[in-house]
Amino acid sequence: MNCRSRHLLLYFVLAGFVGVVWGGYLRSREARLRFIEENKHEMFKHPYEAQRSMVDRMMLGFGRGGFRRVTHGCTIPAVVVLVF
């Protein structure tokens, strides 16, 4: 593997990691705020039920946001790099 391809691979891995963290954080925060707003007046039987439900929604949001950001964050630069 030559130097240029190694740098490109490193760039895409780094862009993917940053994309997952950034997109996941934004979507999980949005899911958490939406959960709190929607369930403000709903009473759960036990506090851990509410916490578990919120964590489930946050993790789902993290996965969705991370996947969306990494697909946009890696495919667009890949096209630019391959064209030029």
Note the pLDDT tens digit of each residue in 10-64: 877 888 888 888 888 999 999 999 988 888 777 778 888 888 888 999 999 998 8
pTM to 2 decimal places: 0.71
C-alpha–C-alpha distance, residues 69 and 8, integer Å:
19
60's CB contacts (< 8 A; 6+ apart) are 31
Query: What residues does each domain of the chain span?
Result: 3-83
Overall average pLDDT of the 2-15 stretch? 80
The number of helix segments (H) and strand segments (E) in the chain equals 2, 0
